[in-house]
Amino acid sequence: MVRSWVIVVVLAALVAAVIVQRTAFRAPDGTIWNPPAPPAAVPTGAQAVVPGKALTGADLTAALENGRPTLVDFGAGTCTVCKQEAPVLDQAAAKYAGKANVVYVDVNTYEVFAKHYKVQLIPTQISFDAKGKEVTRHVGFHSLEAIGADLAKAGMR
């Protein structure tokens, strides 16, 4: 009898922990906070930078609303593959300047964006068309050619 109550209590605690984890967001300083309401639209504030390198100078919202296709790379400065991807993103930003946006979002700093776009693994690249609608999604290292192909699918000319 006692064993069944222990199992019930442990299961209830696990369910509660999962619910809290799914609803909580981490602020850039690491504290957990819950926003007053879920984002009605695309969140604002993610800067288009690879640590130490500016890619487009635009924030995520501006990039998605400026009428050009956009490739957003979600990664972290501590991720080995993300570090390998950084120079490729820099090349893509230079190559497609004026035709498309190439934006990097650090998921450690902007965890709310990763949650909003349901990013499960890093690096994840999502391409959006000129109206901000998701077109493609890729997980892992993405070559310059593959980035170009994704942007072409998103409508880059």
> pTM score > 0.85 for this model?
no
- Look up residue 119 and give its amino acid: V
CATH number of 47-153: 3.40.50.1170, 1.10.1420.10, 3.30.300.30, 3.40.30.10? 3.40.30.10
Provide the residue-wise pLDDT of the chain in tens; the chain has 157 residues. Answer: 667 777 777 777 766 665 555 545 555 555 554 443 433 444 444 444 443 343 333 467 778 888 999 999 999 888 999 989 989 998 998 899 889 988 888 888 778 888 888 999 999 999 999 998 999 999 999 999 999 999 999 999 8
pLDDT of residue 57: 36
pLDDT of residue 56: 35
d(CA 56, CA 128): 16
d(CA 4, CA 130): 56
Given a contact cutoff of 8 angstroms between Cβ atoms, the answer to whether 70 and 154 are in contact is yes
pLDDT of residue 84: 92
Output DSSP code: residue 152. Answer: H
pLDDT of residue 119: 93
